[in-house]
Structure 1
């Protein structure tokens, strides 16, 4: 039996506003957790994040006392995002499938989250995720790409990233087939209503 989460991070990556299926389902999941007393924190990636650059990379190999202003700025954004993830008991990730993969805005978020020494570390046995004990609910929406099909490169990517940083309790809520007349939005909303 799962403990009642205290902090829930809602991450939306759809470029669409209210018409977005993934946003609607993420909101429904959020409502369920809020009703159980959880605190919600939202991160909207529609306005994007900075992409990893040379200063960001160099900050990972430099003692923070020796950071340049550019390194400090680049790592500062990442630190804020990592802090949000580390504070959350549950991550609710809204990930529409764009051109068979994740939206660029979501990939930028992933790149900011995967930080050596913060969310994973290198060991003699390979990388080890440092965010064990968290739960992730991944809301995947698609117009035509069937979720977990051979042409869905988004859902396996998100699972791999979560596993890499130590999150193995992963639930996928799928709403695919929206443009093919086989939409599963209602079923996904029903799943969302039963997550907390």
Structure 2
């Protein structure tokens, strides 16, 4: 098993989503002692946002790119190669203003490339990152699970599925900003989700 852990919090230390993601990885390692883990912390090495210069580089043929354009595309190429090389993906995802962090959005923008991680066919799009297992470790200050205010889960299901990542398990730690008792209950719920996922 080759595990890729993506920490998407803006915080390098003490992030609740990282705590939950670490718990997922620990469970995976317990069940697969020979597993390798690659950690990408997007607070430490954030991916540049998809701007006009990046689009220009991506849509310029490789043999015609300037050195700057080639360097920009290479940043995305590295993330694509990384996810292609791993069979298990663990995403640590906090909720910021009802959405995913910009750090995670930039990572998604980097790995979503037509003809490489997805393609369009006569019958519609086809994801090319197949045969991988994804765990999403969610950390929220409030209670949003299975409510209309949870925009993260539908978005992540859609975008991951679009890329062929359809085997996705969500682990929820919620109510973490609602006082110590609620936070303790939230982490206990995450443990219950983990127990169910690894039963």
**Taking structure 2 as the reference length, what is the TM-score of the superposition?**
0.88
Of the structure 1 ranges 63-72 and 87-96, higher mean CA displacement relative to structure 2 is found in 63-72
Corresponding residue for 2:25?
30
Contact (CA 8 Å) 1:137, 1:170: kept in 2 or not?
Answer: yes
Verify: 1:103 aligned to 2:105, yes or no: no
- Asked if 1:40 is matched to 2:37, the reply is yes
Q: In structure 1, how many angstroms separate the alpha carbons of the residues matched to 2:146 and 2:73?
A: 34
Q: Tell me, which stretches of 5 or more residues in structure 1 are unaligned?
A: 1-5
Q: CA deviation at 1:126?
A: 2.5
Say which SS state the counterpart of residue 85 (structure 1) adopts.
helix
Q: Does 1:188 align with 2:190?
A: yes
Give ranges in structure 2 of 5+ residues lacking alignment: none
Matched, 1:14 2:9: yes
Kindly tell me the number of residue pairs found equivalent between the two proteins.
Answer: 191
Q: Could you list the per-position Cα deviations for residues 136-195 of structure 1 after superposition, in whole angstroms to 9, with x for gaps in the alignment?
A: 101111001412321121221111110010011010001111223534212213433675
- Give the whole-Å Cα distance in 1 for the aligned partners of 2:78 and 2:178: 39
CA distance in 2, matches of 1:147, 1:97: 12
Residue 82 of structure 2 corresponds to which residue in structure 1?
84
Secondary structure of the equivalent of 2:39?
strand
Cα RMSD between the aligned structures? 1.8
Range 9-18 or range 52-61, more displaced? 52-61
Q: 1:16 to 1:55 in 2, by over 3 A?
A: closer
The residue aligned with 1:119 is: 117
Residue in 1 that maps onto 2:70: 72
Q: Distance in 2 between matches of 1:195 and 1:70?
A: 44
**C-alpha distance in 2, partners of 1:78/1:20?**
25
Task: Output the CA distance in 2 between the equivalents of 1:187 and 1:145.
Answer: 12
Other structure's SS at 2:116 match = coil
Write the deviation string for residues 27-58 of structure 1: whole angstroms up to 9, x where unpaired. Answer: 11112223312110011011321111233223
What is the rounded CA distance, in whole Å, between the counterparts of 2:92 and 2:110 in structure 1? Answer: 17
Report the 3-state secondary structure (helix = DSSP H, G, I; strand = E; otherwise coil) of the residue aligned with 1:15: coil
Q: Deviations over 1:98-154 (max 9, x none)?
A: 100001111111111111121111222222110111111011110014123211212
Q: Distance in 2 between matches of 1:148 and 1:98?
A: 17
